[in-house]
Amino acid sequence: MTKFEPVGRAPEPPARAGFVPCQFEDPVAAQLLRPLFGDDRETLVLAGFDAFERLVGLIRIDGDRSGRCIIPPQCWRSFIDDRIVTVVMAHNHPSGNPEPSAADTGTTQEAAIFLRTLGVELVDHLIFVAGGHFSFRTAEML
């Protein structure tokens, strides 16, 4: 019997499509959105931008006791105005798992359709964890 010694290290498992490590986050994710999330409960943020990509609206919604974040209709009414042309939706997963749940995927698709009827584009939905974030746009799920 011949014993073979490994040469070098085993290859790293491929990263999940859509996951962006912290060191590669763009300024909007790293400097604007990431500081708004804590580790203790789920929080949702809606960031609205005008045609010149300037931030013109920001809403933060903390999760309830069940950990779910619900966007009440009055939040959409006060958030969407004629200046907002694009929206970035973001929330965190305190569990540390960046994978979107079925509820995350459904909510993203519903929000995209709703915003599209108003002439607003949902640019991305980000799910933040300690090591980075999951991007629906990068994963081609949006």
User: What is the rounded CA–CA span in Å between residue 22 and residue 117?
Assistant: 33
Beginning with the edge strand found earlier in the chain, give each strand of the sheet holding 43-49 in spatial order: 19-21, 132-135, 121-129, 86-92, 43-49, 55-62
Note whether 129 and 135 are within 8 A (CB).
no
Query: Alpha-carbon dihedral of residues 81, 117, 70, 22, nearest 10 degrees?
Result: -80
The confidence score (pLDDT) of residue 66 equals 62
Helix (H) or strand (E) holding 128: strand 121-129
pLDDT tens figures, 79-120: 888 899 999 999 999 889 999 999 899 999 999 999 999 999
Neighbours of 106 (CB within 10 A): 11
d(CA 105, CA 94): 18
pTM for the full predicted model: 0.83
Question: Token digits for 97?
Answer: 């798992």
User: How many residues can be counted in the chain?
Assistant: 142
pLDDT beneath 50, residues of the chain: 13
Token digits for 98? 């960046």
How many C-beta atoms lie closer than 10 Å to residue 43's C-beta?
18
